[in-house]
Amino acid sequence: MGKRKSAAKPPPKKRMDKLDTVFSCPFCNHGSSVECRIDMKNLIGEASCRICQENFSTTVNALTEPIDIYSEWIDECERVNTVEGDDDA
């Protein structure tokens, strides 16, 4: 009689890489000068530049990450620039 086959172990789970928490400033273009902080108690996320003192704040939820706050800031900058560009024409 033969041996019983042992059950194969499942492959190890891949670890997700950590997302960045510091970014480059859209105003002064200084690399890694924008730091994002999330205040879950007050549901506020804030991104601020240490060099030019520009800042942006937005509401957050339980799933919000620092990259989300920075992306919203960039989107808001682009939206303001396109509105100002339309007014000049």
Domains of the chain: 34-81 (2.20.25.190)
Alpha carbon distances (Å) from 13 to 9, 16, 20, 43, 78: 12, 9, 22, 32, 38
pLDDT value at 89 more than 60? no
Tokens 């400033």: give the residue: 25
**Structure-model confidence comparison of residues 28 and 20, the more confident one:** 28
Q: Strand 22-23 vs strand 34-39: parallel, antiparallel, or unpaired?
A: antiparallel
0.85 exceeded by pTM: no
pLDDT, tens digit (0-9, with 9 covering 90-100), for 51-80: 999 999 999 999 999 999 999 999 999 999
What pLDDT score was predicted for residue 9?
A: 86
